[in-house]
Protein backbone atom coordinates (compact mmCIF):
# COMPACT_ATOMS: atom_id res chain seq x y z
CA UNK A 1 0.00 0.00 0.00
CA UNK A 2 2.90 2.35 0.66
CA UNK A 3 5.83 2.92 -1.62
CA UNK A 4 8.32 5.74 -2.04
CA UNK A 5 9.86 6.13 -5.48
CA UNK A 6 12.81 8.52 -5.47
CA UNK A 7 12.60 9.69 -9.06
CA UNK A 8 15.26 12.40 -9.47
CA UNK A 9 17.96 14.05 -7.38
CA UNK A 10 19.66 17.41 -7.97
CA UNK A 11 22.46 17.65 -5.43
CA UNK A 12 20.72 16.70 -2.18
CA UNK A 13 17.34 17.98 -3.42
CA UNK A 14 14.93 15.19 -4.28
CA UNK A 15 11.79 14.65 -6.37
CA UNK A 16 9.79 11.55 -5.50
CA UNK A 17 6.39 9.90 -5.32
CA UNK A 18 4.92 8.43 -2.14
CA UNK A 19 2.01 6.07 -2.76
CA UNK A 20 -0.76 5.83 -0.14
CA UNK A 21 -4.24 4.22 -0.06
CA UNK A 22 -5.82 7.62 -0.80
CA UNK A 23 -3.52 8.62 -3.63
CA UNK A 24 0.03 9.56 -4.58
CA UNK A 25 1.95 12.39 -2.97
CA UNK A 26 4.43 14.09 -5.28
CA UNK A 27 7.40 15.41 -3.34
CA UNK A 28 8.73 17.83 -2.29
CA UNK A 29 5.42 18.84 -0.78
CA UNK A 30 3.98 21.38 1.63
CA UNK A 31 1.11 20.01 3.74
CA UNK A 32 -1.46 22.47 5.16
CA UNK A 33 -2.45 21.87 8.78
CA UNK A 34 -6.07 21.11 9.64
CA UNK A 35 -5.61 20.91 13.40
CA UNK A 36 -9.23 20.12 14.29
CA UNK A 37 -10.11 18.31 11.04
CA UNK A 38 -10.36 21.61 9.18
CA UNK A 39 -7.90 24.02 7.63
CA UNK A 40 -9.05 27.23 9.26
CA UNK A 41 -11.41 29.34 7.11
CA UNK A 42 -11.18 27.04 4.05
CA UNK A 43 -13.37 24.31 2.55
CA UNK A 44 -12.02 21.01 1.17
CA UNK A 45 -13.07 22.13 -2.30
CA UNK A 46 -10.97 25.29 -2.02
CA UNK A 47 -7.97 23.19 -0.97
CA UNK A 48 -8.50 20.82 -3.91
CA UNK A 49 -8.62 23.78 -6.28
CA UNK A 50 -5.19 24.82 -4.94
CA UNK A 51 -3.91 21.32 -5.78
CA UNK A 52 -3.29 20.45 -2.12
CA UNK A 53 -2.29 16.78 -2.04
CA UNK A 54 -2.34 15.97 1.69
CA UNK A 55 -3.61 17.51 4.93
CA UNK A 56 -2.59 17.17 8.57
CA UNK A 57 -4.84 16.72 11.57
CA UNK A 58 -3.91 16.83 15.24
CA UNK A 59 -4.24 13.79 17.50
CA UNK A 60 -4.22 15.74 20.77
CA UNK A 61 -6.98 18.15 19.77
CA UNK A 62 -9.17 15.53 18.10
CA UNK A 63 -8.77 13.26 21.12
CA UNK A 64 -10.21 16.03 23.30
CA UNK A 65 -12.88 17.10 20.79
CA UNK A 66 -14.90 15.39 19.36
CA UNK A 67 -13.09 12.20 20.44
CA UNK A 68 -11.59 9.37 18.35
CA UNK A 69 -14.50 6.99 18.99
CA UNK A 70 -16.96 9.43 17.44
CA UNK A 71 -14.72 9.93 14.41
CA UNK A 72 -14.37 6.16 14.04
CA UNK A 73 -18.18 5.85 13.99
CA UNK A 74 -18.14 8.25 11.02
CA UNK A 75 -15.70 5.88 9.23
CA UNK A 76 -12.60 7.90 10.05
CA UNK A 77 -11.29 11.35 9.27
CA UNK A 78 -11.59 11.09 5.49
CA UNK A 79 -15.36 10.67 5.66
CA UNK A 80 -15.81 12.92 8.71
CA UNK A 81 -14.12 15.94 7.09
CA UNK A 82 -14.97 15.03 3.48
CA UNK A 83 -11.36 14.83 2.30
CA UNK A 84 -10.61 11.93 -0.05
CA UNK A 85 -6.90 12.55 -0.46
CA UNK A 86 -4.14 11.49 1.97
CA UNK A 87 -4.18 12.62 5.60
CA UNK A 88 -1.36 12.63 8.16
CA UNK A 89 -1.95 12.75 11.91
CA UNK A 90 0.73 13.70 14.40
CA UNK A 91 1.00 11.78 17.66
CA UNK A 92 0.24 14.65 20.04
CA UNK A 93 3.81 14.74 21.34
CA UNK A 94 4.44 18.36 20.38
CA UNK A 95 1.14 19.56 21.84
CA UNK A 96 1.89 17.77 25.11
CA UNK A 97 5.33 19.45 25.12
CA UNK A 98 3.61 22.79 24.63
CA UNK A 99 1.46 22.32 27.73
CA UNK A 100 4.41 23.14 30.00
CA UNK A 101 3.40 22.82 33.65
CA UNK A 102 0.17 21.07 32.66
CA UNK A 103 2.02 17.84 31.87
CA UNK A 104 4.23 15.33 33.64
CA UNK A 105 6.49 12.94 31.71
CA UNK A 106 7.59 9.53 32.97
CA UNK A 107 9.19 6.47 31.38
CA UNK A 108 5.82 5.01 30.40
CA UNK A 109 4.15 8.10 28.94
CA UNK A 110 2.72 11.52 29.74
CA UNK A 111 -0.02 12.60 32.13
CA UNK A 112 -1.49 15.97 31.23
CA UNK A 113 -4.34 18.31 31.98
CA UNK A 114 -6.55 19.49 29.15
CA UNK A 115 -6.06 23.10 28.12
CA UNK A 116 -9.85 23.24 27.70
CA UNK A 117 -11.19 22.27 31.10
CA UNK A 118 -8.25 21.09 33.22
CA UNK A 119 -9.36 17.44 33.15
CA UNK A 120 -6.59 14.84 33.50
CA UNK A 121 -5.60 12.52 30.66
CA UNK A 122 -2.78 10.17 29.79
CA UNK A 123 -0.94 9.38 26.56
CA UNK A 124 1.38 6.40 26.18
CA UNK A 125 2.83 5.12 22.90
CA UNK A 126 0.11 2.48 22.80
CA UNK A 127 -2.67 4.98 23.45
CA UNK A 128 -1.31 7.41 20.81
CA UNK A 129 -1.29 4.62 18.22
CA UNK A 130 -4.78 3.42 19.20
CA UNK A 131 -6.16 6.95 18.83
CA UNK A 132 -4.55 7.41 15.42
CA UNK A 133 -5.86 4.05 14.25
CA UNK A 134 -9.38 5.19 15.13
CA UNK A 135 -8.81 8.47 13.29
CA UNK A 136 -7.74 6.47 10.23
CA UNK A 137 -5.12 8.73 8.61
CA UNK A 138 -2.85 7.33 5.89
CA UNK A 139 0.33 8.41 7.68
CA UNK A 140 0.59 8.31 11.46
CA UNK A 141 3.42 9.35 13.76
CA UNK A 142 5.24 7.59 16.57
CA UNK A 143 4.74 9.11 20.02
CA UNK A 144 7.84 11.13 20.89
CA UNK A 145 9.02 13.66 23.43
CA UNK A 146 9.82 17.09 22.06
CA UNK A 147 12.02 19.00 24.50
CA UNK A 148 13.75 22.38 24.68
CA UNK A 149 16.45 22.25 21.96
CA UNK A 150 19.52 23.35 23.96
CA UNK A 151 19.17 21.49 27.31
CA UNK A 152 21.66 18.68 26.64
CA UNK A 153 20.98 16.65 29.79
CA UNK A 154 17.22 16.63 29.35
CA UNK A 155 17.36 16.30 25.56
CA UNK A 156 19.36 13.09 25.89
CA UNK A 157 16.80 11.61 28.29
CA UNK A 158 13.93 12.71 26.02
CA UNK A 159 15.70 11.20 22.99
CA UNK A 160 16.17 7.88 24.77
CA UNK A 161 12.49 7.87 25.77
CA UNK A 162 11.57 8.68 22.17
CA UNK A 163 13.55 5.63 20.99
CA UNK A 164 11.91 3.32 23.52
CA UNK A 165 8.49 4.72 22.67
CA UNK A 166 9.17 4.23 18.93
CA UNK A 167 9.75 0.53 19.57
CA UNK A 168 6.51 0.34 21.55
CA UNK A 169 4.61 2.16 18.79
CA UNK A 170 5.75 -0.39 16.22
CA UNK A 171 4.61 -3.23 18.44
CA UNK A 172 1.26 -1.55 19.15
CA UNK A 173 0.38 -0.80 15.52
CA UNK A 174 -2.27 -3.13 14.09
CA UNK A 175 -3.60 -1.55 10.88
CA UNK A 176 -1.79 -2.34 7.63
CA UNK A 177 -3.37 0.57 5.77
CA UNK A 178 -1.46 3.18 7.78
CA UNK A 179 2.22 4.10 7.42
CA UNK A 180 3.91 4.74 10.78
CA UNK A 181 6.80 7.23 10.64
CA UNK A 182 9.52 7.27 13.29
CA UNK A 183 10.74 10.61 14.63
CA UNK A 184 14.36 11.71 15.06
CA UNK A 185 15.04 13.85 18.13
CA UNK A 186 18.22 15.16 19.81
CA UNK A 187 17.87 18.93 19.98
CA UNK A 188 20.69 20.95 18.40
CA UNK A 189 23.44 18.54 19.45
CA UNK A 190 25.07 16.80 16.46
CA UNK A 191 26.14 13.70 18.38
CA UNK A 192 22.61 13.16 19.73
CA UNK A 193 21.00 13.80 16.37
CA UNK A 194 23.38 11.33 14.74
CA UNK A 195 22.63 8.73 17.39
CA UNK A 196 18.90 9.25 17.01
CA UNK A 197 18.98 9.16 13.20
CA UNK A 198 20.89 5.87 13.25
CA UNK A 199 18.55 4.31 15.83
CA UNK A 200 15.32 5.37 14.11
CA UNK A 201 16.71 4.36 10.69
CA UNK A 202 17.44 0.86 11.98
CA UNK A 203 13.77 0.20 12.79
CA UNK A 204 12.49 -0.08 9.20
CA UNK A 205 9.80 2.60 9.37
CA UNK A 206 8.32 3.40 5.91
CA UNK A 207 9.27 7.06 6.46
CA UNK A 208 11.15 9.27 8.88
CA UNK A 209 10.31 12.58 10.52
CA UNK A 210 12.69 15.15 11.95
CA UNK A 211 11.15 16.61 15.09
CA UNK A 212 12.19 19.08 17.74
CA UNK A 213 13.09 21.90 15.34
CA UNK A 214 11.52 25.33 14.85
CA UNK A 215 10.99 25.42 18.62
CA UNK A 216 13.31 28.32 19.45
CA UNK A 217 16.68 27.38 17.99
CA UNK A 218 18.47 29.59 15.45
CA UNK A 219 18.11 29.06 11.70
CA UNK A 220 21.78 28.12 11.56
CA UNK A 221 21.29 25.42 14.21
CA UNK A 222 18.25 24.08 12.39
CA UNK A 223 20.07 23.83 9.07
CA UNK A 224 23.16 22.25 10.63
CA UNK A 225 20.90 19.67 12.29
CA UNK A 226 19.30 18.85 8.94
CA UNK A 227 22.77 18.37 7.45
CA UNK A 228 23.65 15.86 10.17
CA UNK A 229 20.38 13.93 10.07
CA UNK A 230 19.90 13.70 6.31
CA UNK A 231 23.40 12.28 5.82
CA UNK A 232 22.23 9.29 7.86
CA UNK A 233 18.55 8.75 7.04
CA UNK A 234 18.13 6.16 4.25
CA UNK A 235 17.58 7.85 0.86
CA UNK A 236 14.93 5.35 -0.25
CA UNK A 237 12.40 6.60 2.31
CA UNK A 238 10.59 9.96 2.61
CA UNK A 239 11.87 12.59 5.04
CA UNK A 240 9.45 14.87 6.83
CA UNK A 241 10.53 18.07 8.62
CA UNK A 242 7.83 18.74 11.20
CA UNK A 243 6.32 22.16 11.88
CA UNK A 244 8.37 24.21 9.43
CA UNK A 245 6.80 26.38 6.74
CA UNK A 246 8.36 29.61 5.54
CA UNK A 247 9.52 30.08 1.97
CA UNK A 248 13.11 30.23 3.21
CA UNK A 249 12.68 27.05 5.27
CA UNK A 250 11.27 25.11 2.34
CA UNK A 251 14.12 26.17 0.06
CA UNK A 252 16.85 25.36 2.56
CA UNK A 253 15.18 22.17 3.79
CA UNK A 254 14.79 20.82 0.26
CA UNK A 255 18.40 21.81 -0.46
CA UNK A 256 19.35 19.42 2.37
CA UNK A 257 17.18 16.50 1.27
CA UNK A 258 13.80 17.07 3.00
CA UNK A 259 10.71 15.85 1.12
CA UNK A 260 7.73 16.88 3.28
CA UNK A 261 6.84 19.98 5.31
CA UNK A 262 3.90 21.17 7.37
CA UNK A 263 3.12 24.32 9.32
CA UNK A 264 0.20 26.36 10.69
CA UNK A 265 2.00 29.53 9.60
CA UNK A 266 0.09 30.29 6.34
CA UNK A 267 -3.34 30.38 7.98
CA UNK A 268 -2.05 31.94 11.22
CA UNK A 269 -0.47 34.78 9.26
CA UNK A 270 -3.70 35.19 7.31
CA UNK A 271 -5.67 35.65 10.53
CA UNK A 272 -3.15 38.35 11.46
CA UNK A 273 -3.58 40.12 8.09
CA UNK A 274 -0.22 39.06 6.59
CA UNK A 275 0.43 37.79 3.07
CA UNK A 276 3.39 35.57 2.17
CA UNK A 277 5.31 36.50 -0.99
CA UNK A 278 8.69 35.75 -2.55
CA UNK A 279 9.69 39.27 -1.51
CA UNK A 280 8.73 38.83 2.12
CA UNK A 281 5.55 39.28 4.15
CA UNK A 282 3.09 42.09 3.49
CA UNK A 283 0.89 43.60 6.19
CA UNK A 284 -2.36 43.91 4.28
CA UNK A 285 -3.91 46.14 6.97
CA UNK A 286 -1.49 48.93 6.06
CA UNK A 287 -3.22 52.19 5.22
CA UNK A 288 -1.09 52.60 2.10
CA UNK A 289 -3.19 49.90 0.41
CA UNK A 290 -6.44 51.86 0.76
CA UNK A 291 -6.62 52.63 -2.98
CA UNK A 292 -4.18 50.02 -4.29
CA UNK A 293 -5.61 48.32 -7.40
CA UNK A 294 -2.90 45.65 -7.55
CA UNK A 295 -3.34 42.06 -6.35
CA UNK A 296 -1.22 40.87 -3.44
CA UNK A 297 1.32 39.50 -5.94
CA UNK A 298 1.19 40.24 -9.67
CA UNK A 299 2.92 36.93 -10.44
CA UNK A 300 0.58 34.79 -8.30
CA UNK A 301 -2.14 32.66 -9.92
CA UNK A 302 -4.18 31.94 -6.79
CA UNK A 303 -7.92 32.71 -6.69
CA UNK A 304 -7.34 35.71 -4.44
CA UNK A 305 -4.75 37.36 -6.66
CA UNK A 306 -6.73 36.66 -9.81
CA UNK A 307 -9.87 38.39 -8.52
CA UNK A 308 -9.22 40.87 -5.71
CA UNK A 309 -7.24 44.04 -5.10
CA UNK A 310 -5.10 44.95 -2.12
CA UNK A 311 -7.61 47.72 -1.44
CA UNK A 312 -10.49 45.24 -1.19
CA UNK A 313 -8.57 42.91 1.14
CA UNK A 314 -7.62 45.85 3.35
CA UNK A 315 -11.28 46.90 3.40
CA UNK A 316 -12.28 43.39 4.58
CA UNK A 317 -9.66 43.53 7.32
CA UNK A 318 -10.74 47.02 8.36
CA UNK A 319 -14.39 45.95 8.63
CA UNK A 320 -13.47 42.67 10.37
CA UNK A 321 -15.07 40.53 7.67
CA UNK A 322 -14.33 36.78 7.81
CA UNK A 323 -13.61 36.74 4.09
CA UNK A 324 -10.30 38.52 4.76
CA UNK A 325 -8.88 35.45 6.51
CA UNK A 326 -10.23 33.17 3.78
CA UNK A 327 -8.70 35.13 0.92
CA UNK A 328 -5.36 35.52 2.68
CA UNK A 329 -5.32 31.83 3.65
CA UNK A 330 -5.95 30.88 0.03
CA UNK A 331 -3.06 33.05 -1.10
CA UNK A 332 -0.62 31.91 1.60
CA UNK A 333 -1.29 28.19 1.20
CA UNK A 334 -1.24 28.47 -2.58
CA UNK A 335 2.13 30.23 -2.37
CA UNK A 336 3.76 27.32 -0.51
CA UNK A 337 2.01 24.56 -2.47
CA UNK A 338 2.91 26.26 -5.75
CA UNK A 339 6.49 26.80 -4.58
CA UNK A 340 6.80 23.07 -3.84
CA UNK A 341 5.55 22.21 -7.32
CA UNK A 342 7.91 24.70 -8.96
CA UNK A 343 10.85 23.31 -6.98
CA UNK A 344 9.91 19.79 -8.06
CA UNK A 345 10.02 20.89 -11.69
CA UNK A 346 13.39 22.55 -11.18
CA UNK A 347 14.82 19.42 -9.55
CA UNK A 348 13.60 17.31 -12.46
CA UNK A 349 15.22 19.81 -14.86
CA UNK A 350 18.46 19.83 -12.81
CA UNK A 351 18.08 23.54 -12.14
CA UNK A 352 17.22 23.64 -8.44
CA UNK A 353 20.30 25.49 -7.21
CA UNK A 354 19.98 28.54 -9.46
CA UNK A 355 16.22 28.68 -8.83
CA UNK A 356 16.77 28.53 -5.07
CA UNK A 357 19.50 31.18 -5.15
CA UNK A 358 17.20 33.61 -6.96
CA UNK A 359 14.41 33.18 -4.40
CA UNK A 360 16.76 33.55 -1.44
CA UNK A 361 18.27 36.64 -3.07
CA UNK A 362 14.82 38.24 -3.38
CA UNK A 363 13.98 37.40 0.23
CA UNK A 364 17.27 38.86 1.45
CA UNK A 365 16.83 42.04 -0.55
CA UNK A 366 13.37 42.60 0.90
CA UNK A 367 14.36 41.98 4.53
| Domain end position, chosen among 263, 284, 301 | 263
- C-alpha span between 49 and 303 (Å, rounded): 9
Q: Tell me, what's the pLDDT at 366?
A: 82
Residues 244 and 361 in one domain: no
Inter-axis angle of helices 323-348 and 310-318, to 10 degrees?
Answer: 140
Residues 242 and 271 in one domain: no
Residues 244 and 101 in one domain: yes
Mean pLDDT, contiguous 10-residue spans, the chain (367 residues): 97 98 98 98 98 97 98 98 98 85 94 94 97 98 91 95 98 98 97 98 97 94 98 98 97 98 98 97 98 98 98 98 98 98 98 98 87
Residues 312 and 247 in one domain: no
Residues 238 and 269 in one domain: no
Q: Tell me, what's the pLDDT at 93?
A: 84
Residues 308 and 227 in one domain: no
Residues 101 and 247 in one domain: yes
| Residue 65 belongs to domain with CATH number | 3.20.20.105
Return all residues near 143 (Cβ < 8 A) that are at least 6 apart. 91, 92, 93, 109, 123, 124, 125, 128, 129, 165, 168, 169
Residues 300 and 258 in one domain: no
| Domain end position, chosen among 212, 235, 263 | 263
Q: In terms of residue numbers, what domain contains 352?
A: 264-367
| Domain end position, chosen among 247, 263, 279 | 263
Q: From residue 167, how far is each of 64, 107, 285 by CA, in Å?
A: 26, 13, 49
Residues 120 and 223 in one domain: yes
Residues 346 and 256 in one domain: no
Residues 87 and 206 in one domain: yes
Q: Which residues pair with 57 in a beta bridge?
A: 89
Residues 227 and 284 in one domain: no
68: left (phi over 0), alpha (psi -120 to 50) or beta: alpha
Number of domains in the chain: 2
Q: Tell me, what's the pLDDT at 49?
A: 98
Which residues are catalytically annotated? 90, 262
Amino acid sequence: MFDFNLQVTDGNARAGKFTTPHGDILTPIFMPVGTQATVKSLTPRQLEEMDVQILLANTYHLYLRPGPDLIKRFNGLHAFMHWNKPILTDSGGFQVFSLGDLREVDADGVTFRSHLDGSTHRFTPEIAIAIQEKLGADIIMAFDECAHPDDHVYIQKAMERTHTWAERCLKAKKRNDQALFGIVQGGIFPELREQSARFISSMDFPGHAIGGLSVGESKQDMLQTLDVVNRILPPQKPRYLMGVGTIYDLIEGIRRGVDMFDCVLPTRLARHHAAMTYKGRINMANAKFREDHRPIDNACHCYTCQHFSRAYIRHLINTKEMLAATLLSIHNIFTLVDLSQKIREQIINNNFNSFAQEIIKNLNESS
